[in-house]
Amino acid sequence: MEVKRLLVVILATILLSGIYVPLSLAQPITLTKKNVYSLSWDEILKLAKREGEVIWYGFGSTYERDFFTKLCEMFTKKYGIKATYVHGHWFDTVQRLISEKEAGKKVGGIDVVLAWSKPFEMAYEKGAVWDVNLAEIIPNAKGIPFVAKYFHDMYPTNGRHLPILAWWVGFLYRKDILKYPDDVPTSFDQLLDWVKKHPGKFTYCDPNKGGSGHTFLMGLAEWFYGYDKFAFTKFDEKYAGKLFSSPGKYGMNFWQYLNELEKYMYQPGNYPQGNKATIELFEAGEVWLEPMWVSITMQEVATGRLDPSWVGMYIPKPTMPGPFDGVFIPFNAPHKAAALVFINFLLSPEVQKLIPQEIGAYPAVTEAWKLVPEKVKKQPWWPINPPYNDLVKWRNFGPLWYRHADYMFFIMKKWIDEVARK
């Protein structure tokens, strides 16, 4: 008993003196937004193993669900920390966190959240995100491109959100009927003329029902008025209203252009209700060209619903913007150290190289593309035109446009009155 008391006195004296004590010698501590910056990665890993669990909430198709579940199993086997994936809807998850913040719930039940730009913004601005710069702490974050590391669809994250993958929309075309580049609109400049020459053979989905639709419209707007009008600017609704009502290409404003385009599209006035409905028109042979996610194209081929001999994919000039989706840690995550270790695992080479072959997305860590098997890169759903056919060159030299979350939402809302109801 006396020896124990003596050790306690000695340890207390050391702590009070400010001398650093390795985590292995100290009593278990709770990870906070202050001490997390002073701990070594090995110490964070030890804390994570003490916590023993991590709970990840995500969303997506059944392909994403199965892949994310598989990643949790890989993590559990590698670290001995139980990882659980919960598949749901991003809106429900974010609303739950915001409600817990408002209610003052200090310990929740979610450790890691998969999010795109708008839900992250909603959570961050309500204080529902753990206020820690993950980019500084997580070792594997160094491989993420700088802009993606600190901005999410041009919204500043301050490192509180880290991308784990990048989805991309290209132009999906019938390569058995159309030959690239002669028979397709290789740039947005050529799109309207092409649609007029091929009435009924082009469509895009309702931008409020599918990401391929609102990503396409955001890219179209950046081309129509110039990328510099949107790039990392603060959103102003009055300015947005004035901009989108002003002349751009062909002496039209943006809404006039979309309404002109609509006249020659598939069933004018009727827009497919989501990504799936859009690609089903392609599969049925009704349309020959449409903006579509690379990932959904891959998944439709894998299920046998889409004939791979029909599949051609390219990125029109000047380029198409794309989102880097990623993860954040909630303010009241019960296992914050385990969450850090799990995110580092998601950004590891072993996981990043699986993303293209498992779900048809790009890795967030650029160099991981070099680890992807060549047979995967040669599949027809990847863009065929340079520099997009080589992710490393594309990321290093561009063009690499980003979506602006707030302007994109403005387009989505205004589209209903200016296009859908016209």
E strands, 107-252, in order: 112-115, 151-152, 155-156, 162-166, 169-174
Helix axes 41-51, 336-346, angle to 10 degrees: 110
Residue with tokens 């920390």: 81
pLDDT tens-place string over residues 373-385? 999 999 999 999 9
What's the pLDDT score for residue 422? 84
What's the pLDDT score for residue 355? 98
Examine the pLDDT at 137 and tell me if it is beyond 60: yes
| Residue 361 near residue 294, CB atoms below 8 Å | yes
Helices and strands (H and E) in the chain: how many:
19, 11
Dist CA 13 CA 4 (whole Å): 14
pLDDT tens-place string over residues 234-273? 999 999 999 999 999 999 999 999 999 999 999 999 999 9
104 φψ region: left (φ > 0), alpha (ψ -120 to 50), beta (else): left
Examine the pLDDT at 156 and tell me if it is beyond 90: yes
pLDDT tens-place string over residues 61-91? 999 999 999 999 999 999 999 999 999 999 9
What's the pLDDT score for residue 5? 53
How many C-beta neighbours within 10 Å does residue 132 have? 22
- The predicted model gives 281-286 an average pLDDT of 98
The band of 45, judged by pLDDT with boundaries at 50, 70 and 90, is: very high
pLDDT tens-place string over residues 17-31? 444 444 444 455 789
State how far Cα 157 lies from the chain centre: 13
pLDDT tens-place string over residues 87-110? 999 999 999 999 999 999 999 999
404 closest CA partner among 279, 269, 243: 243
Dist CA 40 CA 23 (whole Å): 9
What one-character-per-residue DSSP string does 348-414 give?
A: SHHHHTHHHHHHS-EESSGGGGGGS-HHHHTSTTS--STTTT-HHHHHHH-------HHHHHHHHHH
Dist CA 74 CA 194 (whole Å): 47
Buried b (16+ CB within 10 A) or exposed e, 63-78: bbbebbbebbebbeee
User: 249: burial class by Cβ within 10 Å (0-12, 13-18, 19+)?
Assistant: middle
What's the pLDDT score for residue 30? 81
Mean pLDDT of the chain: 94
> What percent of the chain is modeled with pLDDT above 70?
93
Residue 53's φ and ψ, nearest 5 degrees, are -160, 150
Dist CA 294 CA 380 (whole Å): 10
183 vs 12, which has greater pLDDT?
183
What's the pLDDT score for residue 7? 45
Residue with tokens 């809106």: 91
CA 203 → CA 10, 103, 323, 422, distances in Å? 74, 45, 21, 17
Model pTM above 0.85: yes
- The predicted model gives 375-401 an average pLDDT of 97
What's the pLDDT score for residue 352? 98
What's the pLDDT score for residue 10? 45
What's the pLDDT score for residue 2? 53
pLDDT tens-place string over residues 180-229? 999 999 999 999 999 999 999 999 999 999 999 999 999 999 999 999 99
